[in-house]
Structure 1
Amino acid sequence: MQKILLIGTIMMVLVACGSGSPKYGDNTSKVLDNMIENKSFEIISSSAQPLMTAAMQQLGNAGVFVNGSTAGNINLTTNANYLRMKNDSVMADLPFYGERQFGGGYNNASGIEFEGIPNNLQIKKVKDLDYEISFDIHDKNSNTENYQVYIKLFPNLSSSMVIRSTNRSNIQFRGQVRELDSDK
């Protein structure tokens, strides 16, 4: 009886312990490859992770964030947002949560907005699976604010994006990448 339990336990442990490497279908990998090759995709973020500071923690403790959100992880599923790449142009309208280091002027309580041809655009495939994209671009509403954008796209069509700003604290977004509609 003990041998059966021991063998059963070992079998369960072996089944529960997979190889750890992701298994993606060829179809999603090909879709991602095509989006990158055509430079035509859109990222919709489902969550934002602002840089955790004392001020952000105080806001979280005060209960300012919507249900299901914390100071370190904000749910964006009801917040329209995007980052699009079409040919050589990149455009984005993303919410910003965090601290602004320099004044933004009056009526400039905007999120992260940019549109145009990015500087230093680099796209590289990593380990024959993931893509890393990086570029620099100016803010749409300000001549003094610049962004460094780092994007990682995975074969399961999920995305991770980090945006560094000259005027704001860093913020990370997680979401999904999809093919860009032809009318956008």
Structure 2
Amino acid sequence: MVCGITHIACKSSKPVMTEAEMNAFNLLIEKRAYRIESDMAYPQVTAALQSVMNSGLMPPGSNTNAISLIGNPNFLEIKEDSISSFLPYFGERQMQVGYGTDDSAIQFDGLVENYKAELSKKNTYDVSFEAKSKSEKFNVNIIIFSNSKADIAISGGSRLAIRYSGKIVSP
């Protein structure tokens, strides 16, 4: 006797953007006019960061490699060739910073250098550029998804790299 089992796979259909929605999404990136607010930060885990996490100083809903930014004001905004940002930084710095300085967050307020935005086959934009804070130069890579979600990866000369996830909001 032969016993056969039939497997039927069900897959939900992907939400498809209308042509108008896709055009609006493309225009947003091409005009360089968008603002990203993040809800999570993903620092590199080090022994020092682990010690801070064990002290109970981090916000609720956080763990060593994922820190909640909910209720913590933050943004990265692109307007044509300018950038402004305030992104809280969690991680190690490789140089001494004086007490009482306001350089603990990643803060940009200036011009974007070497801006590139490429549309991928998956309808996401891969954006890369360089930007400067008061004391450091950063490489910034952003993946912007068609559903308005965004991942930001930032690396600088004196800090360990960090990643943020959030969404595009109206500027």
Q: Same fold (TM over 0.5)?
A: yes
CA distance in 1, matches of 2:56, 2:24: 41
**What is the SS of the residue equivalent to 1:83?**
strand
**What is the SS of the residue equivalent to 1:72?**
coil
Which residue of 156, 160, 179 maps to 2:170? 179
When structure 1 is superposed on structure 2, of 59-68 and 110-119 the one drifting more is 59-68
CA drift at 1:30? 2.9
* In the alignment, structure 1 residue 81 sits paired with structure 2 residue 74: yes
CA drift at 1:123? 1.2
Instruction: After superposition, give the CA deviation of every residue in 1:47-104 in whole Å (9 maximum; x if it has no partner).
Output: 0000111111122223221211112101111001110011111111110000111012
CA distance in 1, matches of 2:23, 2:168: 13
CA distance in 1, matches of 2:55, 2:26: 44
Counterpart in the other structure of 1:166? 157
* In the alignment, structure 1 residue 25 sits paired with structure 2 residue 17: yes
CA distance in 2, matches of 1:28, 1:116: 30
Instruction: After superposition, give the CA deviation of every residue in 1:140-176 in whole Å (9 maximum; x if it has no partner).
Output: x32xx11111101000110000000111111000000
Counterpart in the other structure of 2:32? 39
CA drift at 1:31? 2.9
How do 1:82-161 and structure 2 match up within 5 A? 82-109=75-102, 110-127=104-121, 129-139=123-133, 141-142=134-135, 145-161=136-152
When structure 1 is superposed on structure 2, of 161-170 and 107-116 the one drifting more is 107-116
- The one-letter amino acid paired with 1:23 is P
- The one-letter amino acid paired with 1:172 is R
CA distance in 2, matches of 1:32, 1:132: 13
**What is the SS of the residue equivalent to 2:160?**
coil
Q: 1:178 to 1:32 in 2, by over 3 A?
A: farther
**What is the SS of the residue equivalent to 1:133?**
strand
Verify the 8 A CA contact 1:28 1:157 in the aligned structure 2.
no
The runs of at least 4 aligned residues of structure 1 exceeding 3 Å deviation read none
CA distance in 2, matches of 1:24, 1:97: 36
What percent of counterpart residues are identical?
Answer: 30
Counterpart in the other structure of 1:58? 51
CA distance in 1, matches of 2:82, 2:120: 23
Superposition RMSD in Å: 2.1
Unaligned runs of at least 5 residues, structure 1: none
CA drift at 1:122? 1.1
Which residue of 56, 65, 69 maps to 1:72? 65
Taking structure 1 as the reference length, the TM-score comes to: 0.82
CA distance in 2, matches of 1:150, 1:44: 15
